[in-house]
């Protein structure tokens, strides 16, 4: 069975991260304590729906769900998740996958209105992918792809001949209130800021995260997390043992740590180019 990629809800220290002009990124993680109470992967979608509702009520600016929702679960749980996505500013993830992917189309609102460059990297061009179900895409704010090498992320990819955004770029758009544009040369513009198509990841010195445990968000008694997510971009993910690692120049990193560090690396590059440090 394919392991669903999830995000644990948590707060990442931004002392050297985004400038004050950007909303901070907050990370909520399903960790071992959460799993002890609610079970492990595949994680109950009704619980994810409840977390989305609570984060929305706490005035999160945006929510990025790091789960693959390309396959159905129970009708009851999927209906609850669909309703929660429709009531919140949510972005979903996708990924190129020749082995398990399908050729499900993506609506024009999730595509970049530009012609792919002829020399676009073949590694990030494909006709099969893990695409969120249409019922979840219907109200989603964005769909972003999570493909990468061990040291670089593409800011855009090509799916079924159309340019699509990376999930990292989607997150940066939500935080900066900007819409990315792609030039014929492959340069990605976010407002006045120019970013290279392939972003080299600068990893932190330590593989550690400070985060809000998922079960605290579900709790009716723990309230301290609410101030942390207000007007922030919340990444929902997984930090348990049932996830694969990626070999990097910083050593092996759990897949969601890799995503978080690549996102923060991109945010710092944006900050530097934008002159807001």
Going residue by residue through the chain (277 aa), what tens digit of pLDDT does each one get? 444 443 333 333 333 334 444 568 999 999 999 999 999 888 999 999 999 999 999 999 999 999 999 999 999 999 999 999 999 999 999 999 999 999 999 999 999 999 998 889 999 999 999 999 999 999 999 999 999 999 999 999 999 999 999 999 999 999 999 999 999 888 999 999 999 999 999 999 888 888 999 999 999 888 899 999 999 999 999 999 899 999 998 899 999 999 999 999 999 999 888 775 4
Give pLDDT, residue 276: 55
Q: In what order do the strands lie in the sheet with 180-182?
A: 180-182, 188-190, 193-195
Give pLDDT, residue 41: 86
Q: DSSP string spanning 224-260?
A: TTHHHHTTSEEEEEE-SSSS-EEEETTEEEEHHHHHH
Structure tokens at 60: 């999160």
Using a 10 angstrom Cβ sphere, with 0-12 exposed, 13-18 middle and 19 or more buried, the burial of residue 209 is: buried
Spell 197-207 as b/e; 16+ CB within 10 A means b: bebebebeeee
Any idea what DSSP says for residue 192?
T
Predicted TM-score of the model (pTM)? 0.91
- 272 phi and psi angles, rounded to 5 deg: -65, -45
Give pLDDT, residue 11: 38
Give pLDDT, residue 274: 79
Q: DSSP string spanning 107-161?
A: -GGGB-SSPPPTT--GGGEES-EE---HHHHTT-SEEEE----SSEEESEEEETT
Give pLDDT, residue 13: 38
Return the closest-CA partner of residue 190 out of 265, 267, 110, 270: 270
């Amino acid at each position: 069975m394919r392991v669903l990629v999830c995000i644990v809800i948590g707060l990442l220290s931004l002392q050297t991260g985004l400038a004050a002009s950007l909303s901070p990124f907050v990370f909520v993680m399903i960790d071992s304590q959460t799993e002890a109470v609610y079970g492990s992967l595949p994680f109950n979608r009704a619980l994810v729906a409840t977390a989305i509702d609570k984060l929305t009520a706490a005035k999160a600016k945006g929510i990025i769900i790091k789960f693959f929702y390309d396959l159905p679960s129970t009708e009851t749980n999927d209906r609850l998740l669909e309703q929660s996505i429709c009531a919140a500013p949510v972005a979903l993830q996708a990924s190129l996958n020749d082995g398990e992917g399908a050729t499900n189309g993506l609506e024009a609102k999730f595509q970049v209105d530009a012609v792919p460059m002829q020399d676009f990297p073949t590694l990030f061009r494909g006709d099969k992918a893990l695409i969120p179900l249409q019922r979840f895409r219907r109200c989603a704010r964005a769909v972003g792809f999570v493909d990468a090498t061990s040291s670089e992320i593409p800011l855009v990819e090509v799916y079924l001949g159309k340019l699509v955004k990376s999930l990292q770029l989607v997150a940066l758009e939500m935080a900066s209130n900007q819409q990315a544009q792609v030039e014929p040369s492959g340069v990605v513009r976010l407002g006045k800021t120019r970013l290279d198509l392939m972003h080299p990841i600068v990893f932190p010195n330590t593989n550690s995260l400070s985060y809000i445990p998922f079960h605290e968000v579900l709790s009716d008694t723990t309230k301290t997390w609410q101030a942390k997510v207000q007007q922030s971009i919340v990444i929902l993910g997984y930090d348990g043992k049932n996830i694969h690692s990626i070999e990097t120049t910083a050593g092996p990193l759990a897949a969601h740590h890799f995503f978080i560090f690549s996102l923060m690396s991109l945010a710092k590059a944006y900050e530097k180019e934008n002159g807001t440090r």
